Structure 1
Amino acid sequence: MKGADLFVTCLEDGGIDTVFALPGEETNALMVALEASSIDVVLCRHEQAAAFMASVHGRLTGRAAACLATLGPGATNLLTGVADATLDLVPLVAITGQGGRDRIARGKHSHQMIDLGQLFAPVTKLSRTLQTSAEIPGAVAEALSQASMAHPGAVHLSLPEDLAGEAVEGRPVSSPAARTPQAHPDVLAEAAARISAAKQPIILAGAGLLRAGATAELNAFAAKTGLPLATSFMAKGLLPVDHPQHLGAFGLPREDHVDRAIAASDLILAIGLDPVEYPMAKLTSDGEVPLIALGHAPIPRDVTGDIQADVVGDLKSSLPTLSGALQGRRWTVWSDAETARAALISDLNSAFEDMDQSPPSAGALVAALGQSVDEHDTILSGVGTHKLALARNFTPKRPGQIIIPNGLAGMGLALPGAIAAARLQERGRVIAVCGDGDVMMNVQDMETATRLDLSVTVVVWVDGGYGLIEDKQEKETGDRPDLSFGTVDWDHLARAFGWTHIGCDTADDLTKALGNTASAPKRRLITVPVSYSGSFA
Structure 2
Amino acid sequence: MCPSAQWCCYTFPTVNAPDATASPATEPQEQSKKTHIRTVADLFVECLVNEGVETMYGIPGEENIPLMEAIERDGRIRFVLTRHEQGAGFMAATQGHLTGKPGVCLATLGPGALNLTLPVAQANASTTPLVAICAQGNVTRLYKESHQIVDLVSVFRPLTQWTSMVMEPASVPEMVRKAFSIAQRNRPGATCLILPEDVAEMPAPEDAHPLPLPNPMSFAPTPDTIERAVSIIRGAKHPIILAGNGVARGHAENRLLALAEQLNVPVATTFEGKGVISDRIPLALGVVGFMRHDYENFAFDEADLIIAVGFSIQQFDPKKINPNDDKTIIHINTFIEDTDAHYSTALNIMGSIDATLSALVDALKRHHVTFGVSHPKIHELLTDEYESYAQDDSFPLKPQRIVADTRRAMETDTDIALVDTGALKMWMARLYPTYYSNTCVIDNSLSTMAWTLPGAVAASLENPGRPVLAVMGDGSFMMNVQEIETAVRVGARIVILVWVDEAYGLIKWKMDLHDGSHEYVDFNNPDVVALGMSFGAKGHLIESADELYPTLRSALRSGSGIDIIACPVDYSENMKLIDKLGEVDFSA
1:344 is matched with: 382
Residue by residue over 1:393-425, the C-alpha shift from the partner in whole angstroms, topping out at 9 and shown as x without a partner, is 111232221111111111111000000011111
Residue by residue over 1:424-452, the C-alpha shift from the partner in whole angstroms, topping out at 9 and shown as x without a partner, is 11453111000000111110010011111
Out of 119, 130, 137, the position equivalent to 2:173 is 137
Change (3 A) 1:197 1:519: closer
1:527 partner letter = A
Out of 50, 58, 61, the position equivalent to 1:24 is 61
Whole-Å Cα distance in 1 between the matches of residues 319 and 224 of structure 2? 25
Out of 174, 181, 191, the position equivalent to 1:155 is 191
Say if 2:321 is the partner of 1:283.
Answer: yes
Of the structure 1 ranges 359-368 and 315-324, higher mean CA displacement relative to structure 2 is found in: 315-324
Change (3 A) 1:71 1:9: same
Deviation at 1:178? Answer: 4.9
Whole-Å Cα distance in 1 between the matches of residues 521 and 344 of structure 2? 41
Q: What is the SS of the residue equivalent to 1:331?
A: coil
Q: 5+ unaligned residues in a row in structure 1: which ranges? A: none
The answer to whether the 8 A contact 2:465-2:559 is kept is no
1:352 partner letter = A
Whole-Å Cα distance in 1 between the matches of residues 231 and 181 of structure 2? 36
2:159 partner letter = V
Say if 2:443 is the partner of 1:401.
Answer: no
2:60 partner letter = P
Q: What is the SS of the residue equivalent to 1:9?
A: helix
2:564 is matched with: 525
Q: 5+ unaligned residues in a row in structure 2: which ranges? A: 1-37, 579-588
Say if 2:151 is the partner of 1:111.
Answer: no
2:553 is matched with: 515
Say if 2:57 is the partner of 1:7.
Answer: no
1:112 partner letter = Q
Q: What is the SS of the residue equivalent to 2:573?
A: coil
The answer to whether the 8 A contact 1:292-1:309 is kept is yes
Say if 2:262 is the partner of 1:224.
Answer: yes
Out of 251, 255, 259, the position equivalent to 2:297 is 259
Scaled by the length of structure 1, what TM-score is found? 0.96
1:125 is matched with: 161
Q: What is the SS of the residue equivalent to 2:195?
A: strand
Say if 2:330 is the partner of 1:292.
Answer: yes
1:534 is matched with: 573
Residue by residue over 1:471-492, the C-alpha shift from the partner in whole angstroms, topping out at 9 and shown as x without a partner, is 2123224542131101221232
Whole-Å Cα distance in 2 between the matches of residues 193 and 93 of structure 1? 42
Deviation at 1:71? Answer: 0.3
Residue by residue over 1:185-208, the C-alpha shift from the partner in whole angstroms, topping out at 9 and shown as x without a partner, is 222211111111111111111110
Q: What is the SS of the residue equivalent to 2:369?
A: coil
2:121 is matched with: 83
Out of 184, 208, 221, the position equivalent to 2:246 is 208
The answer to whether the 8 A contact 2:488-2:561 is kept is no
The answer to whether the 8 A contact 2:239-2:373 is kept is no
2:586 is matched with: none
Change (3 A) 1:78 1:453: same
The answer to whether the 8 A contact 1:91-1:154 is kept is yes
Say if 2:333 is the partner of 1:332.
Answer: no
The answer to whether the 8 A contact 1:503-1:528 is kept is yes
Q: Give the % identical residues.
A: 35
Deviation at 1:338? Answer: 2.4
Say if 2:70 is the partner of 1:33.
Answer: yes
Of the structure 1 ranges 386-395 and 419-428, higher mean CA displacement relative to structure 2 is found in: 419-428
The answer to whether the 8 A contact 2:219-2:355 is kept is no
1:27 partner letter = N
Change (3 A) 1:506 1:407: farther
Deviation at 1:6? Answer: 0.8
Of the structure 1 ranges 81-90 and 397-406, higher mean CA displacement relative to structure 2 is found in: 397-406
Residue by residue over 1:173-231, the C-alpha shift from the partner in whole angstroms, topping out at 9 and shown as x without a partner, is 23555534211322221111111111111111111010000111111111221111111
Whole-Å Cα distance in 1 between the matches of residues 404 and 455 of structure 2? 23
Of structures 1 and 2, the one with the larger relative CO (CA 8 A, separation 6+) is 1
The answer to whether the 8 A contact 2:48-2:176 is kept is yes
The answer to whether the 8 A contact 1:284-1:290 is kept is no
Whole-Å Cα distance in 2 between the matches of residues 353 and 498 of structure 1? 33
Whole-Å Cα distance in 1 between the matches of residues 149 and 482 of structure 2? 26
Q: What is the SS of the residue equivalent to 1:139?
A: helix
Paired residues, number: 532
The answer to whether the 8 A contact 1:145-1:178 is kept is no
1:43 is matched with: 81
Residue by residue over 1:366-419, the C-alpha shift from the partner in whole angstroms, topping out at 9 and shown as x without a partner, is 111011112241111111111111110111232221111111111111000000
Out of 431, 436, 457, the position equivalent to 2:474 is 436
2:271 is matched with: 233
Of the structure 1 ranges 361-370 and 471-480, higher mean CA displacement relative to structure 2 is found in: 471-480
Whole-Å Cα distance in 1 between the matches of residues 480 and 349 of structure 2? 40
The answer to whether the 8 A contact 2:423-2:509 is kept is no
The answer to whether the 8 A contact 2:63-2:108 is kept is yes
Deviation at 1:467? Answer: 1.7
Q: What is the SS of the residue equivalent to 1:149?
A: coil
Whole-Å Cα distance in 2 between the matches of residues 250 and 511 of structure 1? 28
Deviation at 1:60? Answer: 1.1
2:31 is matched with: none
2:401 is matched with: 364
Out of 362, 379, 390, the position equivalent to 2:417 is 379
Q: What is the SS of the residue equivalent to 1:152?
A: coil
1:342 partner letter = E
The answer to whether the 8 A contact 2:131-2:192 is kept is yes
Deviation at 1:516? Answer: 3.9
Say if 2:165 is the partner of 1:165.
Answer: no
Whole-Å Cα distance in 2 between the matches of residues 521 and 173 of structure 1? 40
Q: Which has the larger radius of gyration?
A: 2
Q: What is the SS of the residue equivalent to 1:253?
A: coil
Change (3 A) 1:427 1:237: farther
Whole-Å Cα distance in 2 between the matches of residues 303 and 17 of structure 1? 43
1:523 partner letter = I
Residue by residue over 1:291-310, the C-alpha shift from the partner in whole angstroms, topping out at 9 and shown as x without a partner, is 11111111223464321111
Q: What is the SS of the residue equivalent to 1:32?
A: helix
1:146 partner letter = I
Residue by residue over 1:224-275, the C-alpha shift from the partner in whole angstroms, topping out at 9 and shown as x without a partner, is 2111111111111122222211111110001110011111111111111111
2:34 is matched with: none
Of the structure 1 ranges 216-225 and 137-146, higher mean CA displacement relative to structure 2 is found in: 216-225
Alignment of 1:168-187 (within 5 A): 168-169=204-205, 170-187=208-225
The answer to whether the 8 A contact 1:382-1:438 is kept is yes
Change (3 A) 1:519 1:201: closer
The answer to whether the 8 A contact 1:474-1:481 is kept is no
Q: What is the SS of the residue equivalent to 2:343?
A: coil
Of the structure 1 ranges 484-493 and 168-177, higher mean CA displacement relative to structure 2 is found in: 168-177
